[in-house]
Amino acid sequence: MVILVLNCGSSSAKYQVYDWDNKDVLAVGVVEKVTFSGSFIGHEAKGRAKLTLAQDCPTHTDAVNLIIKLLTDKEHGVIPDMSVIGAVGHRVLHGGDKFTKSVIVDDKAMEVFEEVKDLGPLHIPANLMGIEAAKKVLPDVPHCAVMDTAWHQTMPPESFLYALPYEWYEKYGVRRYGFHGTSFLYTAKRAAVLLGKDPFKTNVIICHLGNGSSVNAVKDGKSFDTSMGITPLEGLVMGTRSGDADLAMPFYVMRKTGMSAQEMESALNKKSGLLGITGQYTDRRDIQAAADKGDKRAILSQDMEAYRVKKYIGAYTAALGRVDALVFTAGVGEFATVIRRKVLEGLAPLGYVYDPAKNDLAHTRNAETNIAADGAKVPIFIIPTDEELVMTEDAFALMKGTYDVHTNFKYTFQEKSYVNKSRSEGLKGDLQKNPKLAGIIANPK
């Protein structure tokens, strides 16, 4: 049984092919610059060198067709034909407040996604095009929607409501929805495994730090509060998004400059954040290189990014009362040692005591590590996220009719004996390069 996972973004189409019987990833890849000129696919099949192939993809339908063509290619493919695929999992940005879990895509689900399209105008149209394109190629298998917002539907009203006219919530669904839910689900469950605790008696704070970033307070194994809001704009300082800002600021700037509402929305989402502060960078590696050369605005952007994360950790520590672990995940959380250091410095009074040497060692996507100082009461885990695995398991269970909301469903990665085969193999190489890494690997209790 093979499960295909598709994640169609505004200008990309990521995919993973998973062999369910052998619990192994057969291929991963991404089509970049979809809808733009110069689009190309980067394809990695197990045991083979990475392939990069240029091909114009003016639509997401073209991108999906290119993925299918490559997966079944005699030289570079990993399956004989599409008949071996049992289900397809699709990432969908927003499900409003209609879904508390992943669902099989039917006409009713598509209607809901259309209704909430305005809440994610960059991503949801691309998500839907990916679904429609895949259903044309694979019309006879279940297609499953895995929503970033579903995980957060357990938040209480005091967390998800804004202090705005209540009728806005009733009529227009104005509320906090939160995102990165699939990543938070995975890392929350894995943190419970590492702690040796019942997941529903576990409190954790998870920092998903990437180009888009958010923090999640998890109380008794369920989402309690999160930094993103009705859209992914609220919260942390991100690659191009502003995060938290005075709600009156856009009106002030619009009056001063004559900017339209559309121009302001674009500026807040695409020209702010780290790009806005540095004037040219969003990639943390570029920012670090500039900071190393003394670029003051690069350094400022790092300080602002880290400080915003620190504030949320402090707020959520107070909200939860007891925190069993602090978790970093996603590209920046997993690799940006400087950002982690800037976040963690000064948090010892709250119980988060880190070891600088361990922090510098933790630079891998192939192991779960603990960078807390020896004797510290609260572990500080770095858990490489695996959203694709969550999507795969949801799609398989929906296909089999065994799926349920996460409070009534157990994933394979919740087992103490769980091993990610591809990461386990990659860890061998990491340990050869850096044997000291073995000393900070977090093992399940």
Scanning 72-180, the segments in alpha helix (DSSP H) are 107-115, 124-137, 157-160, 166-172
Say yes or no: 26 and 128 in one domain: yes
CATH code for the domain in which residue 291 is found: 3.30.420.40
Mean pLDDT of 363-392: 96
Judge whether residue 373 has pLDDT over 90: yes
Based on the fold, state whether residues 369 and 398 are members of the same structural domain: no
Residue 42 forms part of a structural domain:
yes
Nearest Cα to Cα of residue 317 among 343, 296, 292: 343
Same domain, 73 and 87: yes
Two tokens at 322? 């007891």
Q: For position 35, what pLDDT does the model report?
A: 83
Shared-domain flag, residues 207 and 304: yes
Instruction: Check residue 163 and give its pLDDT.
Output: 98
Instruction: Read off the pLDDT band of 121 (50, 70, 90).
Output: confident
pLDDT tens digit sequence for 59-85: 888 999 999 999 999 889 999 988 899
- pTM of the predicted model over 0.85: yes
Q: Are residues 340 and 398 both part of a single domain?
A: no
Does the pLDDT of residue 199 top 90, yes or no? Answer: yes
Residue 31 belongs to a domain:
yes
Q: Is the pLDDT of residue 119 over 90?
A: no
Question: Who contacts 348 (Cβ-Cβ below 8 Å, separation ≥6)?
Answer: none
Q: Give the mean pLDDT of 96-116.
A: 92
Q: Average pLDDT for residues 13-32, to the nearest whole number? A: 93
Q: Is 10 a residue whose pLDDT tops 80?
A: no
Which residue from 298, 276, 274, 273 is spatially nearest to 287, judged by alpha carbons?
298
Is the pLDDT at 12 greater than 90? The verdict is no
Output the six-digit token pair for 244.
């938290």
pLDDT at position 122: 75
DSSP labels, 39-78: -EEEEEETTS--EEEE---SSHHHHHHHHHHHHT-TTT-S
Residues labelled as active-site residues: 148
Residue 445 has pLDDT above 80, yes or no: yes
- For the chain, what is the domain count? 2
For residue 321, is pLDDT > 90? yes
Residues 302 and 321 in one domain: yes
Residue 6 pLDDT exceeds 90: yes
Position 406 in a domain? yes
Where in the sequence is the domain holding 395, given as residue range(s)?
2-147+388-413
Do residue 34 and residue 100 come from a single domain?
yes
Q: What is the mean pLDDT of the chain?
A: 94
Same domain, 125 and 54: yes
- pLDDT, position 47: 83
